Structure 1
Amino acid sequence: MMESEFPQELQTQAYGILSSNDVEPLEAFFSHVFGSQEPQRSQAYTFLHCCKKHFPHLLFKKLFFVIRCSPVSDTRSRSALVLRYLKICDLWPTLSLIAQNYMKSHFLVCLQEEVSMPTLRLLCGIVSEMGSEISKAGNEWPELMEFLLNSIQSDYEKLQQSALWVLAYLPKGFRPVVCEALVPSLEPLHSAILQALSSPNADIQVSAFGAVVSLIGLFMSSKGRNWFNDLLRAMMVGLFNLLSHLKEEYARGAVNELIMLVMDKPQILKPYLNHLVLDMLNVLECKKVTDETKLFVDKFLLAMSEATDLAPMMRELPHETIFRLLTTSMQLLLSIKDDNAWYNTESEQGENDGKMDVYKSGILFLRKLSTALGEKRTLPICFELFLGHMEATEWKERYAGISLLAVIAEECSDEMVMRKGCLDQVIAIILKSFNDPHPRVCWAAFNFMQQPTNLVQTMQILYHLKIVYALDAALDQHRNPTVKEQVVSALQYLLKNVPSDSLRMHTDLDGILWKLQKEPQKTDQNALALRDLQL
């Protein structure tokens, strides 16, 4: 037998604490686990894993004892957190049958008596996991089903909340078992969840969203009536209700549950896809809704675009709908500030100074969305948006336009090269942007010309004389060191990709070499490359 990784002294200490009726040592242990002081924190985790390895049944009982008896809500909550961290699936099988039956009855009592809502939420998750472990062992827990049905129909909000949280947290493998057990009570359960979806209590509303997702198999398989239709309509009404009352954190939770639904059972949404997209576009177009919430909505729309069952329908959406979808997504790219740190070439973040997380997420979303919808649907619209943004007076919009161009160039380069007039328009706009009034737009244009796409390579081959001339002029014009650094990098990229014979046609090659040699940063490679051209 392999020797334990935990010293005998620690094992003895663990047994003494777990078998004692005194909870003070465990409370002190919690202060270390949830604290930030080292090495106490690491030592507490070592103690915890020693308990789990050698005395899992005692550990489960001790934590439950604290949950049941401690008068301090923080202590009860911490005990529940530790129990979830240790994983019920590892601890439950170590209990004796008598201990399991005790836990089953008393945990349900806890759900009725617990007054702290954060602790109650944790306990509901534990009960869901316990139910799953009981089912895996081939046993039943009829008292849990009775509790759920009685509580969800109760007039007492805390009981409703308990039942909804338990349902929302059901492990996937346990959901079919629960659905089968609840079939005889489908109608009252459906009515209770409908009522919860319109509750003025936002916690109940959002947990009802989660309950619908968990029980979707129950509402899908029942014949004779479309039970899900009423629920989905109530979910969307509930979402708009949360937004109208400025409860956006709850609204994000509701949208996240819808994302889980798309990922789990996308086929059920087929009949409602058009309406769902339009409803979500209304959210995206609402000026009162924050960008953070819009990102969740974008994730939902992207999930539908990528779902195998829904993607073909998303690609067939009307032109106007896809235009609205891409237009609203472009708004995320305006989340950028003219941060002073950006102008400092020594800044740690460099080009990312001023770019908020929303901007970065917007780039990722547009990239994935254009892939999911296909270049034939997205390119004409994106190119139109690009042209429109480049005519704007606000620098952020022009910067967003070049950012969008970079995204579609990654996904649609070949189509853009073949598209009539596209190359001429792009090169004219990019060269103009070399002299944009705002340095960040100039930087974006120079950076775009270093993008390893077929579009940029084609531009360099066909318009290299124009580009070299414009970059040469930019070396003289720009005094901002951050921008000038990008000019030099753009020249370097050009030298690497354009045949030397073509570049020798530029009459002032020696002048460019002289200018580059005077630049203090990142110029050695350029000077060497240009010197090679003269040989």
Structure 2
Amino acid sequence: MSLLPPEVHTALSQLLRSLSTPDNAVRSQAEDQLNNDWVQNRPDVLLMGLAEQIGGAEDTLTRAFSSVLFRRIATKTRKDPATGEAKEIFLSLPSEQRIAIREKLVTCLTTETVTDVRKKIGDAVAEAARQYTDNGDQWPELLAILFQASQSPEAGLRETAFRIFTTTPGIIEKQHQDAVISVFSKGFKDDNIAVRISAMEAFAAMFRSIPKKAQPKFFSLMGDVLNILPPLKESNESEELSSAFLALIELAEISPKMFKGSFTDLVKFSISVIADKELSDQVRQNSLELMATFADYAPKMCQKEPNFAQEMVTQCLSLMTDVGADDDDAEEWNASEDLEPEENDLNHIAGEQCMDRLANKLGGQAILQPAFSWIPRMMSSTAWRDRHAALMAVSAISEGCRDLMVGELDQVLALVVPALQDPHPRVRYAGCNALGQMSTDFAGTMQEKYHAIVLNNIIPVLSCPEPRVQSHAAAALVNFCEEAERSILEPYLGDLLSRLLDLLRSPKRYLQEQALSTIATIADSAETAFGQYYANLMPLLLDVLKQEQGKEYRLLRAKAMECATLIALAVGKEKMGQDALNLVQILGNIQQNITDADDPQSQYLLHCWGRMCRVLNRDFVPYLPGVMPPLLAVAAAKADIQLLDDEDQIEQVEQDEGWELVPLKGKIIGIKTSALEDKNTAIELITIYAQILEEAFEPYVLETMEKIAVPGLAFFFHDPVRVSAAKLIPQLLNSYKKAHGQSPAFAEMWNKVAEKIIEVLSAEPTVDTLAEMYQCFYESVEVIGRNSLTPQHMQAFIDSAKSTLEDYQMRVKQRLEEQAELEEGDEENLDYEYAIEDDQNLLSDMNKAFHTIFKNQGTSFLPAWQQLIQFYDNFITSQDPTQRQWALCIMDDVLEFCSEESWTYKDHIMQPLAAGLQDPNAANRQAAAYGVGVAAQKGGVAWSDFVAACIPSLFQVTQHPQNRTEEHVFATENASASIAKILHYNASKVQGAQEVVANWIETLPITFDEEAAPYAYSFIAQLIDQQNPAVFAKADRVFGFIVEALDAQTLQGQTATRVAQSAKSLVAATGLNAESILAGVSPENQERIRKFFQ
């Protein structure tokens, strides 16, 4: 029985027919009517009408279309008439209307007989259920209806029940877990294949939605799940088996632990699927993906499985030989102009990618032996596909096996290098690929130790007959050269560049483009050594850029721009002469003639202008009026976001490059990431201009600050944009200050900017980006200088810092709880390590912010600062050394910048500093030692008893068993400098000062810490000038310690000169053998050190 009058259904039926018509004009008019009349004015009538059409329409198409339309309309957003809040349309209806509609939908679901329509009704039901679940509301009878449907005699209804569970797993509540286990158990054993697969998919979706603690209750079902697989393989049901593997992949990502008891059998079965060439490529690749997923998420479990690595490597290598079908002589491959075809679904690509993941996750210990049990044999095979696969395997595993392979590079190169002369072009290509990858993965070692082997063998390949191989050799040289020092490349430049010039004359455009990229990289690495080849190359590049050419040559011109500007950066303005200005004018002409949004020259130009700014420095200023408008337009771009309503739209956007699809409350949001990346690049370049040009950039500061930098701090669509905006703001402030000084306009601008930065300190949701915001804040305060913050600013900052610290404490608590729940043998969680690292960086940048405020505000910051005293006290006694260090450093700032007022906080400082000197963590001993030193230097008489009492502990710090190792040396040197500060600034309470001085001399030298050294050595100079007997008694050692500091350059400038003068007088007064000590200085530093004593 219909709840709506007949005339409504008549109108709605007509609307549905019009919406389904192929006539564009009629359909467009119907869509206007749908949106402007039905959706806007009577959505309740529309949704009920559609629900009744689903149940009452005679023809199948109308029922199916009504189901699809119901789902689409239900998810649209409108203002709730009752509250004014934006809600999805179904959820915005009054409760009684929603109940009536959902009852209609459920009736339709259970009575529909056509499979395809039933699936669409199920999607509509799932959408309504999702809205209830997301809103925290209940639809209590739905679960019972679905449980009942899952036991229906009708297989299609059973499948639909599981499909709804898959779409909306949140409807399954804790109290129904036993019933759920029973339903899934029956589903896994269902006679119908489609039902079994749907049950697997629903099970995986449910696992993603339930808490980790609830997962073990369902582990007992794994036997039933895995029993689904073998019959599918036996009956060659590739499509269904492929879907089953996808469900298992999802389960393996969520809870690999649940497979523990059956892992051996699953590995054996999966390997048999990968090896079965009778099955489809897709199912074999999905089986491979399942095993790779275990390597990603449960590497320990894979390492413990005896045959896992050997079997997987064997199957990967087998798949990797499945290349070049029907193109044995590679004629078709070599003729192809498409260097990056869409072939990610090919077996050999799947094999390569899996090898890479296995090596990275399981490591060399697991992968090297099985890989190299095959690679040498395959390299000596007569079949080119075997040799090709072996070389691509070397490329795939070198990053993950780096630590073990780096010591065996002689043997690896002995296998790889001969491939550059292989009779088959694809093997030579693979040889270039391996050398290129190894040049990156073994960067440093390959360039320094093996440059002759690599370059003498790969440079001749640039002249081989096949363009594809030539291009890949040039690409491999990019990898090698970008990690090479100038001195290594210099002997090869002549031969290398002459062959690359030959490639520029090739008729193959892709080869010309690659040659330009390689030349650009060589110029970047060779720097001034490139100068002698400048005259041959730059005129050629300028000619290319001057020529008017068709669209197909746009990328070539872009590469030529890149190459020319990198050469400019390498050789410098003087070498270029008039060419520098010519190049800038050519770039300007190119920019003016760009009309198409997809022209690759636009993106390349952004970077080219940045390079020319570096080359020309202030001479670049006249070109800013041409450069800045398009750059500002890109930097100010808004986010391109689309709400994708139907599957056709989603499919279209999926095919377009540069888009990211984000699921959000049952909808799909499309974000054009390529535009966001361009926006980020533009902001980075503006930062470079402001940094280099300083006050000359002032005309653009206000517009950039207002329209780009400040809004960019809250650009939540793209984290990198926020980071770049944070880095830009201090540079803009610096430009404006350099131009105007501390003017009223500058103060007004800073006041607004400061408020915005402090505001985002509370709003920023991402920990690593929040650290960048604190950095933006302290760098900005540093630019503004003393008294840059009002009391309101400081209070707002403390409020934000309090919020940050509370969030941090919650994250720490949550991590500790998660760690406590781990069982023996559980996998290491890399996300856990990254989260700790992000928080450590955040605390570090917060510390710098406090330091900078104290430095510029002094005691005026104390009233706001002391509101966080409970955090400092908690952190200082924490088991976490990072928290202790954070608190110690802040106390150091109070001592350093608040002078005698620091004594007010003695109860929060003394004990932590004393304990810090005994801290097992070297960084904390360093912080504590520094604090004692500044207390002596800045704290006044009030601190004299305390600092004198710390001397024995400071000596202990310097006597640590590993006092001169990298980890401990800064603690040692800070303790030494602090003793010197106590003896110099606050010695009134030091007992036996002369003995302390004698012992202190033995804590030298200070050759690492440039901040600590001047205090210690100035005190040494003072002792020499006072003819202190302790210094004269150890004259040789004192002079040697001074020479060591000068050699290490921890002593510089006037301090170094003054200390050296005192050292000369020590030599004159004691007759010590200075020559023998100076003779111990390294030959390259002899002249510099001796000048101090002339």
Under TM normalisation by the shorter chain, which class is it? 0.7 to 0.9
Change (3 A) 1:130 1:518: closer
Identity %: 22
Aligned ranges 1:365-444 → 2 under 5 Å: 365-418=354-407, 422-444=408-430
Structure 1 residues 146 and 274, CA, compared in 2 at 3 Å: closer, same or farther? same
- The alpha-carbon distance between structure 1 residues 159 and 65, as it changes in their structure 2 partners (threshold 3 A), is same
Q: CA deviation at 1:434?
A: 0.8
User: Helix, strand or coil: the match of 2:399?
Assistant: helix
Please state how far the C-alpha of 1:401 moved relative to its aligned partner. 1.8
Deviation digits for residues 272-326 of structure 1 (CA, Å, limit 9, x no counterpart): 333333332232233322221122223322333333xx443233322x2221122
Distance in 1 separating the partners of 2:373 and 2:134: 56
Distance 1:355 1:146 in 2: 44
Alpha carbons of structure 1 residues 410 and 105: separation in structure 2 relative to 1, 3 Å: same
Amino acid across the alignment from 1:164: F
Q: Deviations over 1:58-81 (max 9, x none)?
A: 332233233222333233223322
Q: 2:304 aligns with which of 316, 338, 349?
A: 316
Change (3 A) 1:383 1:90: farther
User: Retained in 1: the 8 A contact 2:267–2:291?
Assistant: yes
Distance (whole Å) between structure 2 residues aligned to residue 264 and residue 489 of structure 1 = 39
Give the aligned partner of residue 7 of structure 1: none
| Whole-Å separation in 2 of the counterparts to 1:62 and 1:441 | 65
- Mapping of residues 43-54 of structure 1, within 5 Å: 52=39
Give 1:79's match in structure 2, choosing from 66, 90, 98.
66
State the Cα deviation string for residues 7-29 of structure 1 (Å, max 9, x = none): xxxxxxxxxx9875441322321
- Contact in 2 for aligned 1:283/1:289 (Cα 8 Å): yes
Deviates further, 396-405 or 74-83: 74-83
- The residue that corresponds to 1:256 in the other structure is 246
The aligned counterpart of 1:4 is none
Superposition CA RMSD, Å: 3.9
Q: Is the 8 A contact 2:68 2:124 kept in 1?
A: no
Q: State how far apart, in whole Å, the 1-side matches of 2:27 and 2:316 are.
A: 44
Give the match for residue 453 of structure 1.
440
Secondary structure of 1:23's match? Answer: helix
Contact 2:47 2:74 in 1 (8 A): no
Query: Does residue 140 of structure 2 align to residue 153 of structure 1?
Result: no
1:336, 1:354 within 8 Å by CA — same for their partners in 2?
A: no
CA contact (8 A) 1:413 1:453 kept: no
Residues 104-503 of structure 1: pairs in structure 2 closer than 5 A: 104-134=102-132, 140-171=138-169, 173-175=170-172, 177=173, 180-181=175-176, 183=178, 185=179, 190=182, 193-213=184-204, 228-229=219-220, 231-307=221-297, 310-318=298-306, 320-337=307-324, 338=327, 340-344=331-335, 347=337, 349-350=338-339, 352=341, 356-418=345-407, 422-451=408-437, 452-455=439-442, 457-471=444-458, 473-475=460-462, 478-490=464-476, 498=484
The answer as to 2:47 corresponding to 1:57 is: no
Distance 2:359 2:24 in 1: 47
| 1:261 positional shift | 2.3
Work out the CA distance in 1 between the residues paired with 2:381 and 2:35.
60
SS at match of 1:449: helix
More displaced 10-residue stretch of structure 1: 254-263 or 201-210: 254-263
Greater displacement, 141-150 / 440-449: 141-150
- State the alpha-carbon separation in 1 of the partners of residues 500 and 130 from structure 2: 68
Alignment-mate amino acid for residue 265 of structure 2: H
Q: Greater CA deviation, 423-432 or 81-90?
A: 81-90
In structure 2, give the amino acid aligned to 1:483. Answer: V
Give how far 1:354 is off.
6.9
Unpaired runs of at least 5, structure 1: 1-16
TM-score relative to the length of structure 2: 0.41
Structure 2 stretches of 5 or more lacking a match?
Answer: 1-6, 76-86, 507-511, 534-1094
Q: In 2, Cα distance between the equivalents of 1:387 and 1:423? A: 14
Structure 1 residue 113: deviation in Å? 2.0
Q: Is the 8 A contact 2:15 2:30 kept in 1?
A: no
Return the offset for 1:439.
0.5
- Per-residue deviation, 1:31: 4.4
Displacement of 1:518: 3.9
Paired letter, 1:465: A
> Contact conserved, 1:56 with 1:94, CA < 8 A, in 2?
no
User: CA–CA distance in 2 between the matches of 1:333 and 1:200?
Assistant: 38
What is the distance in 2 between the residues matched to 1:373 and 1:18? Answer: 65
Contact 1:329 1:366 (8 Å CA) reproduced: yes
Q: Does structure 2 conserve the Cα–Cα contact (< 8 Å) formed by 1:60 and 1:91?
A: no
Bigger Rg, which one: 2
Deviations 1:228-270 (A, max 9, x none): 43x3223222122122222211112212222232334444333
The residue aligned with 1:93 is 91
8 Å contact from structure 1 (residues 375, 412) kept in 2? yes
Q: What is the distance in 1 between the residues matched to 2:144 and 2:291?
A: 37
> How far apart are the structure 2 equivalents of 1:518 and 1:134?
68
Match of 1:13 in 2: none
The letter of the residue matching 1:436 is: D
Provide the TM-score with structure 1 as the length reference.
Answer: 0.78
Compared with structure 1, are the counterparts of its residues 469 and 163 closer, same or farther at alpha carbon in structure 2 (3 Å cutoff)?
closer
Displacement after TM superposition at 1:335 (Å)? 4.0
CA-to-aligned-CA distance 1:85-132 (integer Å, 9 cap, x gap): 445582322333332232232222212221221221222233234334
SS of aligned partner of 1:479: coil
Aligned CA distance change for structure 1 residues 269 and 503 (closer, same or farther; 3 Å): closer
* Gap change, CA 1:415 and 1:204, over 3 Å in 2: same
- 1:102 corresponding residue in structure 2: 100
**Structure 2 letter corresponding to 1:271:** G
The 2-side partners of 1:475 and 1:139 are apart by 68
Q: Separation in 2 of the partners of 1:350 and 1:357? A: 15
Cα offset, 1:200, TM superposition: 4.2
- Structure 1 residue 503, shift from structure 2 partner: 6.1
Structure 1 equivalent of residue 55 of structure 2: 68
Q: CA deviation at 1:417?
A: 1.0
Contact 1:335-1:356 within 8 A present in 2 as well: no
For 1:98 and 1:83, the matched residues in 2 are separated by 18
Q: 1:454 to 1:106 in 2, by over 3 A?
A: closer
The answer to which structure, 1 or 2, has the higher relative contact order (CA under 8 A, 6+ apart) is 1
> 1:157 and 1:355 mapped to 2: Cα distance?
36
The change in CA–CA distance for 1:250 and 1:95 in structure 2 (over 3 A counts) is: same
Note the alpha carbon deviations across 1:164-187, whole angstroms, 9 max, x for none. Answer: 33333333x322x2x52363x46x
Provide the rounded CA distance (Å) in 1 between the counterparts of 2:115 and 2:203: 21
